[in-house]
Amino acid sequence: MPTLQYLDFESSDDGTGVATLDALANVAAQHLDALCAEVAQLLDWLQRHHGAPGPLEDGAAWDHALSAQREQVQPLRADWDGAGLQLAAAGPAQPPRTTLSLTLTGSPALCAEVLAAFGGD
């Protein structure tokens, strides 16, 4: 398995046998396809090795939540003249960045297996 390039997981365990891996990635437009491929590879691997995702309370081995947001970056110039603060565009908007959030839930053993398979801590 290749090491993850964009996803950096933080793990937690609720003490009741459910563990969580949370990752947040923020990439420039030119890296979006690679990020999407990395997430797809990880989720495909989980499905091949542990079945389809679903609610753990219904017997699924793992589940996930995935969300993304595109951000337009606009540099601003801030001027203060003693009478007020003025904000104005300081240049053209930068190409949009995308923030992707992925949360995986499963047993502590499953989460440890994911981290071991993909080079996580």
CA–CA separation, 4 vs 42, rounded Å?
A: 9
| Higher pLDDT, residue 119 or 103 | 103
Percent of the chain with pLDDT over 90: 69
> What is the pLDDT, as a whole number, of residue 82?
85
pLDDT in tens, 70-108: 988 788 889 988 888 988 888 777 788 999 999 999 999
- Answer yes or no: pTM beyond 0.85: no
Burial label, 5 (beta-carbon count in 10 A; 0-12, 13-18, 19+): middle
pLDDT tens digit string along 19-39?
A: 999 999 999 999 999 999 999
Res 2 pLDDT > 80:
no
Q: What is the pLDDT of residue 76?
A: 86
Mean model confidence pLDDT for the chain: 91
**Inter-helix orientation angle 32-50/108-117, to 10°:** 130
Strand 94-106's sheet: what is its strand order? 9-13, 19-28, 94-106, 62-73
Cβ–Cβ contacts within 10 Å for residue 52, how many? 10
The H or E element that residue 119 is part of is none
Confidence band (pLDDT; 50, 70, 90) for 18? Answer: very high
Check residue 27 and give its pLDDT: 96
